[in-house]
A = this chain, B = another copy of it.
Amino acid sequence: MMRHDGRTPQEIRPVRFERGFAAASAGSVLVRSGSTVILVTANLVDQVPPFLEGRGTGWLTAEYAMLPGSTPSRKPRKVDGRCTEIQRLIGRSLRAMVDLERLGPRTLHLDADVIQADGGTRTAAITAACVATADALNKCLGAEEARAILKGRLAAVSVGVVDGVGLLDLDYSEDVRAEVDLNVVRLGPRGLVEVQGTAEGAPFDRRRLEELLDLADQGIDRLMALQLDAVGPGVFPPEE
């Protein structure tokens, strides 16, 4: 079976990371995943939110927004429920790859701004944020300190069921028709960090969930290889 853009069901879209795109930020990555384009910036500040003051530990938080021109019909600027949900997902996910104790009393701010939206923005943002985070920590704290804080590589992908077939990395035209939508965030080769499956049409059974998780693992393996290409060796701790 061939998808509308020539991909097989098990294939992710072409992905490119452009590091340093917004040079005012300590870390910044423009990620392109097919026609989805997102700018992720990472900045470290010497301050923690009130609930962590005096504890010595750090924090990581994320914001996600779609630029008004990122969709064919202009999208008004506002933080709606979907945005809130996504930025909480990005924050939780990225905190899983950072040792907040070692980070010390600092906050890493991640900002993901969607420049062009064609499906999979939340997972592409997470995958790019992994790179931006590593870059920001390296720039601000040096390579050794950064390596001690980073727990491993983190990547995310969406999978779904369209016309009864499990597909890896849905674009927008596939996403709107999907019966099931599953986002998976993984740390390193096996560590699930977030699994969010939603029945958009009919409910799905356990067997289908297994199949989709298999597909997600394939996609994330591929994305992690591309991250390594982009970042080079020595940034993340070696994996089993």
Binding site for B on A (CB under 8 A): 21-25, 28, 35, 37, 39, 41-43, 45, 63, 65, 67-74, 77, 81-82, 84-85, 87-88, 92, 96, 109, 111, 113, 115-118, 182, 186-188, 190-199, 202-206, 209, 213
- Which residues from chain B contact A28 at a C-beta distance below 8 Å? 69
Q: Which residues of B contact A63 (CB under 8 A)?
A: 68, 77
- Residues on B with C-beta less than 8 A from A22 are 37, 67, 69-70, 115-116
Q: Chain B's nearest CB lies how many Å from the CB of A94? A: 12
Asked, given contacts A113-B113, A116-B23, A187-B203, whether A81 binds B92 with beta carbons under 8 Å apart, the answer is: no
Is the beta-carbon distance between B192 and A69 smaller than 8 angstroms? no
Q: Do A205 and B193 touch across chains, with their CB atoms under 8 A apart?
A: no
The residues of B that contact A65 with a CB separation of less than 8 Å are 77
A22, A37, A43, A45, most chain B CB atoms within 10 A? A22
Kindly provide the distance from the CB of A81 to the nearest chain B CB, expressed in whole angstroms: 5
| Cβ contact of A202, chosen from B70, B77, B191, B202, cutoff 8 A | B191
Min CB distance, A33 to chain B, in Å?
14
Chain B nearest CB from A132 CB (Å) reads 9
How many Å lie between the Cα of A28 and that of B113 in the bound state? 16
B198 touches A197 (CB 8 A): no
A111–B109 CA distance with the chains assembled, in angstroms: 24
Residues of B contacting A45 with CB < 8 Å?
A: 73-74
In angstroms, Cα B25 to Cα A194, docked, is: 33
Residues of B within 8 A of A81 (CB): 84, 87-88
CB distance from A125 to the nearest CB of B (A): 13
Min CB gap A84→B, angstroms? 4
Q: Known contacts A65-B77, A69-B41; is A199 also within 8 Å of B192 by CB?
A: yes
Whether A197 and B199, one on each chain, are in contact in the complex, defined by CB atoms closer than 8 angstroms, is: no
B199 and A70: CB pair below 8 A?
A: no
